[in-house]
Amino acid sequence: MSTTETDTETDTEVAAVEAALDTLLAEHDPTTLSREEFRGLQYDAGLAWVHFPVGFGGLGVRPNHQKLVERRLRQAGAQSLDPSTFFMALAAPTIVTHGDDEQKQRFLRPMFTGEERWCQLFSEPGAGSDFAGLACKAELDGDEWVVNGQKVWNTIAHLADWGMLVTRSNPDLPKHKGMTYFALDMKSEGVEVRPLRQITGEAEFNEVYLTDVRIPDADRIGDVGEGWRASLTTLMNERTTIGGGGGTPKRGSGPISALVDGWTDAADHLKTAERRDRVMDLWVEAEALRLTNIRASQNRRAGNPGPEGSVAKLASAELNKAILEACIDLLGPDGLVDFDFTFRRPEGLSTEGIENGVRHAFLRVRANSIEGGTSEIMRNILGEQVLGLPGEPRVDKEIPWVDVPRS
The span from the CA of 94 to the CA of 123, in Å, is 17
| Residue 119 or 289 having the CB closest to ligand FAD | 119
Q: Please provide residue 75's backbone torsions phi and psi, each rounded to the nearest 5 degrees.
A: -60, -35
Stretch near ligand FAD under the rule CB under 6 A, chosen from 244-252, 258-266, 297-305, 370-378: 370-378
> With the C-alpha atoms ordered 211, 214, 219, 222, is the resulting torsion angle positive or negative?
positive
Among 223, 220, 217, 196, residue whose Cα is nearest residue 207: 196
Q: Any contact of residue 285 with ligand FAD (CB under 6 A)? A: no
Dihedral over alpha carbons 348, 354, 358, 364 (to 10 degrees): 50
| Residue 113 or 120 having the CB closest to ligand FAD | 120
Q: Any contact of residue 154 with ligand FAD (CB under 6 A)? A: yes
Q: Any contact of residue 365 with ligand FAD (CB under 6 A)? A: no
CB of 381 to ligand FAD, least distance (A): 10
Q: Any contact of residue 153 with ligand FAD (CB under 6 A)? A: yes
The type of residue at 391 is: G
Stretch near ligand FAD under the rule CB under 6 A, chosen from 107-115, 117-125, 242-250, 293-301: 117-125
Q: Any contact of residue 205 with ligand FAD (CB under 6 A)? A: yes
| Residue 90 or 296 having the CB closest to ligand FAD | 90
| Residue 57 or 243 having the CB closest to ligand FAD | 243
CB of 351 to ligand FAD, least distance (A): 8
CB of 156 to ligand FAD, least distance (A): 7
Q: Any contact of residue 376 with ligand FAD (CB under 6 A)? A: yes
Annotated catalytic residue 318: no
Q: Any contact of residue 373 with ligand FAD (CB under 6 A)? A: yes
Instruction: From the candidates 238, 352, 384, 392, give the one annotated as an active-site residue.
Output: 238
CB of 71 to ligand FAD, least distance (A): 30
CB of 352 to ligand FAD, least distance (A): 12
The type of residue at 256 is: I
| Residue 165 or 327 having the CB closest to ligand FAD | 165
| Residue 117 or 278 having the CB closest to ligand FAD | 117
Stretch near ligand FAD under the rule CB under 6 A, chosen from 12-20, 26-34, 113-121, 187-195: 113-121
Question: How many residues of this chain bind ligand FAD (CB under 6 A)?
Answer: 20
Direct distance between the N- and C-terminal alpha carbons of the chain, in angstroms, rounded to an integer: 53
| Residue 30 or 373 having the CB closest to ligand FAD | 373
CB atoms within 10 A of CB 69: 23
Q: Any contact of residue 181 with ligand FAD (CB under 6 A)? A: no
The span from the CA of 196 to the CA of 152, in Å, is 9
Q: Any contact of residue 391 with ligand FAD (CB under 6 A)? A: no
Using Cβ positions, the residue closest to ligand FAD within the complex turns out to be: 128
Q: Any contact of residue 385 with ligand FAD (CB under 6 A)? A: no
Choosing from 10, 356, 374, 385, the residue that interacts with ligand FAD (CB under 6 A) is 374
CB of 131 to ligand FAD, least distance (A): 7
**Which residues 6+ apart lie within 8 Å of 184 measured at CB?**
121, 147, 162, 163, 164, 165, 191, 210, 213, 215, 219
Contact pattern from residue 225 through residue 244 relative to ligand FAD, giving x for each residue in contact according to CB under 6 A and a dash for the rest: --------------------
| Residue 25 or 404 having the CB closest to ligand FAD | 404
Binding site for ligand FAD (CB under 6 A): 119-123, 128-129, 153-155, 205, 367, 370-371, 373-374, 376-377, 380, 392
Residues with active-site annotation: 238
